[in-house]
Amino acid sequence: MASIRSSQKLKRYLGAFFVYSMAVQTVMLIATYFGEEEIQWHSGSERTTGLIISILLIQLVAILGATLTARASEAFGNIRTLIAVNILWVIICIYAYFVITPLDFYIAAGFVGVVMGGIQALSRSTYSKFIPETIDTASFFSFYDVAEKIGIVIGTFLYGFAAQYSGSMRYAIILLGLFFLVGAYLLTRVNKVREL
């Protein structure tokens, strides 16, 4: 789209979004699989119950996360808040590397819920602020959604490749942390653009 190519700020934001969105979407898809394979459950029934609890926990806490992120963005601005949320994701990925017990997993799920609810809502609202005034917002958001879907494919492929190559899902989690770190760095460049 010509409008996206002509806006340096929008291009930089989309680049950052694409990188950290790969990691967010991958976490959403592999979290239960990670819990199933890497956590030391005492029995199969405890594992099933634990995974259901963790999914519900993420969904419930995501509401709180979206609210907290909205308040932070009012106080500090969208880009700064997104940078902070990406840094929180990095910390969660490092923590997840050491997760072993069900309690550890529930704690990780709670924090994932907080940042997941916030990053998705804030990313979309930030994008809507950067798109030029137009009646055709549908094509801009179609582009956004396509970028997100491509990120899912690439993110899960890289995660699977890293897990297969290293022999551990834990190392693949660290790879996702690097994506969040790169995403945070790319976000720092968004507001430095001087649009004509």
CATH number at residue 80: 1.20.1250.20
Q: How far apart are CA 30 and CA 28, in angstroms?
A: 6
**Interval 12-54: pLDDT, tens:** 888 899 999 999 989 988 888 888 888 988 888 998 999 999 9
Q: How far apart are CA 59 and CA 55, in angstroms?
A: 6
Residue pair 183/23 in contact (Cβ under 8 Å)? The answer is: yes
Which is higher by pLDDT, 143 or 184? 184
Domain range for residue 159? 12-131+139-190
pLDDT category at 195 given cuts 50, 70, 90 is: very low
- 3-class state of residue 41 by DSSP: coil
| Residue 43 located in a structural domain | yes
| Residue 181 located in a structural domain | yes
| Residue 6 located in a structural domain | no
Please count the structural domains in the chain: 1
| Residue 116 located in a structural domain | yes
pLDDT at 136 over 80: no
Confidence at residue 196, expressed as pLDDT on a 0 to 100 scale: 36
| Residue 5 located in a structural domain | no
| Residue 195 located in a structural domain | no
| Residue 63 located in a structural domain | yes
pTM of the prediction? Answer: 0.88
Rounded mean pLDDT of the chain?
A: 86
How much of the chain, in percent, has pLDDT values that exceed 70?
91
| Residue 7 located in a structural domain | no
Confidence at residue 105, expressed as pLDDT on a 0 to 100 scale: 93
Q: What are the backbone dihedrals phi and psi of residue 163, each rounded to the nearest 5 degrees, phi first?
A: -65, -40
